[in-house]
Structure 1
Amino acid sequence: MSEILSDSWRYCVGTGRLNLALRADYLESLAMMQKDIGFRYVRGHGLLSDDMGVYRQSVVDSKAHVRYSFTYVDQVFDRFLELGIRPFVELGFMPTALASGPETVFWWKGNITPPRDWGEWAALVSAVVRHLVDRYGIEEVRTWPIEVWNEPNLPQFWKNADQKAYFRLYETSARAVKDVDAQLQVGGPSLSPGADEWWEPFAEFVARRDVPVDFVSRHAYASGPAQHVPFGTYQTLASPQSLLDQFAAPRKYLASTALASLPVHITEFNSSYRPDNAIHDTAYQAAYLAPVLVGGADLVDSYSYWTFCDVFEEENVPTSVFHGGFGLLTHRQIPKPAYHLYTFMARMGSQVLARGDDHLVCEDDNGRVTVLAWQPVGGTDAPDAEDRHSVKLSVPMSGPRAFVRRERVNEHDGNAFAAWRELGRPRSPDTKTFDLLRDCARPVASHQSLSIVDGMVALDLVLARHEVTFVEVLPVHTEEHAGLDDRRLLGVSDDRLVARW
């Protein structure tokens, strides 16, 4: 029985803080992404931060009155569902009026302190979840994972990285969720890379106190310390295998615990953890991520790319259309090479025929065969990639001939970042330049007719530097057209009837 291609690579995708989903550019990017790729869930920070306006306090005659407001939450989640994507709910950050301290993270100041009143925090979580159930229905909301906080092992995201306080936050939140409905999904601890020492204490705590846990979550990044330049960052990069090793870590560290059999969600991953590292805009990024997308399904239940678009403001408002943002799309919907990697994956066949270090081959029930191939790259310490990389494959096909179509993305083709540099790096392109950049972002396509020999089609793919390529092979069913003779066309001879690749 053939292996079915997992779609865990598009189970979830990341986003900037949820308030950004009120913007037109954001929604246009999300609609485009859903049309071309079709993610199932979207996860972002800031559901409970002040700019979403959920926890409101009004002081009248020295008495504080609290109201929960869902004006913005409803707009955001309604639009998500209209676009065919569900929220992967993250509980955070702390509303200022409920916070125990002034410490914040990011330009938009998400509060990272524990609640000043744990009972009020539990009531807030319960109110949010009950509202979602009332608005969208219990059967729907039961499909939404609810994650408690973000990277509490880092002092930037949780005051003092206080493990004991986070465990209390997790327990309080998980019980509040389950008090609404026992079948709702809740999990954590949403650890950053380098925090695997948290797994055993977390597993021991929830087991000892019988705290609900339906899934565990972790993040994965492969970059070294930031080397800052004005409005940008450079970093060293480990190999793509390092991301896969991080994917495997939760099951490794939880193997002997009560949490061993739980689903594992990588709720953020990327090459760099910085939103201003130009590696995200390059063809190298696509080649780097290709083996991660293909191999990640063997290790975890989902792995969420961080993020789908550059409408993102952790380090303030971006100063240039290309600025090294996390997104698969720039502002104003210019696809980056990594976006094309995802669209190629979305077009792969449903059944796996072959996998290798530089390729994935699939087929559909109708005989269509698809190939994703890439030039392997290895990070900072690896030798520089060659100018060419050869992938030779033989794929099954019925009939005498096959139609073969290929799309390429590399350092030149399908690469708007390269075109932008050639244009002089305009920070704020005009409308015509945006159109030009989108046009240059299209993968370069070619096609040809190949002979089928003994039920196989030989593919000799020569990839350019840092290329990711998509190939579609279709059986040809020739139809008769009485009187048709292409040799009578001016400029067409017998040896040109078959297009060259």
Structure 2
Amino acid sequence: MSPGREGSRFPSRFPDAWRHCVGTGRVELALRRDYQDSLALLQREIGFRYIRGHGLLSDGMGVYRPYEWQGERRVRHSFTYVDQVLDAYLALGIRPFLELGFMPGELASGDQTVFWWRGNVTPPRSHKEWAELVRATVSHLVDRYGLDEVRTWPIEVWNEPNLRDFWQDADEQAYHRLYEVTAHAVKEVDSELQVGGPAISPGADEWLDRFAEFVDRRDVPVDFVSKHAYSSGPAQHVPFGVHQTLAPATDLLTQFASPRERIKGTPLAELPLHITEFNSSYRPDNPIHDTAFHAAYLAPVLAAGGDHADSFSYWTFSDMFEEAGVPTSLFHGGFGLLTHRQVKKPTYHLYAFLAGMGDELLARGDDHLVTRHPDGRVTVLAWAPVDASGATPGPDRHVVRLSVPMRAGEAFVRRSTVDEEHGNARTAWQRMGSPRSPRPHQLDVLHEAAEPARRHGRLPVEDGRVALDLTLARHEVTLVEVSAVVEEAPEWADEQRLLGGRPT
């Protein structure tokens, strides 16, 4: 295959919707050191633009504080933790993708909760007080961070209201009312603030039809559409974990694309589409998340997802995550790109490899992506195919042959590899006995094992092109950078004379 010669589509710009947003455990966790250390590493090596998590208004953030004074019930809105969380985000170069939820306990109409940390998922007992809470929160953000800044922050109303676990009785009409009250409250602060939803889970796209009809009929503000995408089947539970079947990765791309079809011809048709959560499994204790298989499985999704959505947010960046309780082991199947203590997983490297790609798209295929940087460097991301059914282990070897453009006599080639043996700390962890709480020296070994294999060499350039013949191991994801050699060795340089031999 010869990148740049496949028709009028190439070259073009490679969309980076993959890095627009990343997910997190409840935002309260951002107060912890391990979380902030992990996010700092993520931003240095990948650099996401936005971060989205649950619980901004839950009791753990302490925003809604009712009290009595002189026989009168009043409410104080406190933003002590909100400020600390958002200050930390902005200091690390990432903006919040705000999710308004869950319900403060003393404002809730019921006691139904979700997760180990008990986020309340019932409607407000007073929509008037909920609107005041929303206005107070958004007004505070504008006062503290400036209107121009907060206008860039999307504000999403709730999370997966189509599921009974996340919204009492999955009551669609109650959600519509909550959305209407919330959207108007946001716009009362400033008409150019972005508000959207309905943040539905997979398999509920019919909600989009009725949401579009509702906001049109009631003239309710909406600036973006959001939904979630996962490709796993029902959970098969084991102690402190689950196993699930997986659909092919193309199923995720189908889910990314489906909202555009559903809202075609509605007032929502031209709005930005944000996939505010996606992953293979929807469980935070599925070992698949920790594997090299997972990186190879998701590679084609990251390569092509920008064709279908304005953003698709990986759920989540870190295993600092407690929806199912405090994790009982370093590798436990958490959603994170990073474990606790910043051990990188193979899927972390998939994102880091993408961060090293250029803006100009030269070619894309079922197993590769080729881009070019402004300085002429060409980068190739290639991945081995996987069998998501589990019926086979996948091929032992997979060959990718490419011809890439280069203006030089010779090319320098640098290759970084992640597979079952390289860039895969889980393999080392299993070999050392799967310690639940690794000792400091074991953590050092795991950090070392988590780094990709690196190799480099030279290749000839013929007729302005470099032939790349890549053999990938099972579940491998590899990044190849090809750059022009500018030879600056002096004319007297002679490797044969290192030990004092005669000139060649």
% identical aligned pairs: 65
Which AA in structure 1 matches 2:178?
L
Maintained 8 Å contact 2:385/2:395? no
Deviation at 1:475, TM superposition (A): 0.3
Maintained 8 Å contact 1:178/1:184? yes
Maintained 8 Å contact 2:11/2:363? no
Which residue in 1 is equivalent to 2:346?
A: 337
Matched residue SS, 1:447? strand
Which residue in 2 is equivalent to 1:225?
A: 234
Which AA in structure 2 matches 1:262?
L
1:362-441 superposed matches below 5 A: 362-380=371-389, 383-441=392-450
What TM-score does the superposition give when structure 2 sets the normalisation length? Answer: 0.96
Which residue in 1 is equivalent to 2:35?
A: 26
1:118-129 superposed matches below 5 A: 118-129=127-138
Quick one: distance in 2 between partners of 1:493 and 1:205? 86
Deviation at 1:486, TM superposition (A): 1.0
Deviations 1:227-286 (A, max 9, x none): 000111100000000000000111011112111111000000000000000000000000
2:452 is equivalent to residue 450 of structure 1 = no
Closer, same or farther: CA 224–231 of 1 in aligned 2, 3 Å: same
2:65 is equivalent to residue 56 of structure 1 = yes
Matching residue within 292, 297, 300 for 1:288: 297
Which residue in 2 is equivalent to 1:177?
A: 186
Quick one: distance in 2 between partners of 1:347 and 1:399? 21
Quick one: distance in 2 between partners of 1:393 and 1:79? 43
Deviation at 1:350, TM superposition (A): 1.4
Maintained 8 Å contact 1:36/1:343? yes
Deviations 1:126-164 (A, max 9, x none): 000000000000000000000000000000000000000
Which AA in structure 2 matches 1:131?
H
Which residue in 2 is equivalent to 1:325?
A: 334
Matching residue within 97, 103, 106 for 2:106: 97
Deviation at 1:58, TM superposition (A): 2.2
Which residue in 2 is equivalent to 1:151?
A: 160
Quick one: distance in 1 between partners of 2:502 and 2:226? 61
2:88 is equivalent to residue 79 of structure 1 = yes
Matching residue within 276, 281, 293 for 2:285: 276
Closer, same or farther: CA 55–412 of 1 in aligned 2, 3 Å: same
Which AA in structure 2 matches 1:149?
W
Quick one: distance in 2 between partners of 1:112 and 1:408? 43
Quick one: distance in 2 between partners of 1:260 and 1:6? 20
- Structure 1 window deviating more from structure 2 (60-69 vs 242-251): it is 60-69
Quick one: distance in 2 between partners of 1:354 and 1:286? 20
Quick one: distance in 2 between partners of 1:147 and 1:481? 61
Matching residue within 78, 88, 91 for 2:97: 88
Closer, same or farther: CA 44–493 of 1 in aligned 2, 3 Å: farther
Query: What 5-or-longer segments of structure 2 have no aligned partner?
Result: 1-9
Quick one: distance in 1 between partners of 2:234 and 2:255? 18
Query: What 5-or-longer segments of structure 1 have no aligned partner?
Result: 495-501
How many residue pairs are counted as aligned between the two chains? 495
What TM-score does the superposition give when structure 1 sets the normalisation length? Answer: 0.97
Deviation at 1:378, TM superposition (A): 3.9
1:162-173 superposed matches below 5 A: 162-173=171-182
Quick one: distance in 2 between partners of 1:365 and 1:184? 35
Which residue in 2 is equivalent to 1:315?
A: 324
Which residue in 1 is equivalent to 2:24?
A: 15
Closer, same or farther: CA 483–95 of 1 in aligned 2, 3 Å: same
2:257 is equivalent to residue 248 of structure 1 = yes
Quick one: distance in 1 between partners of 2:99 and 2:468? 45
Quick one: distance in 2 between partners of 1:407 and 1:474? 15
Q: Cα RMSD between the aligned structures?
A: 1.6
Quick one: distance in 2 between partners of 1:145 and 1:427? 38
2:213 is equivalent to residue 213 of structure 1 = no
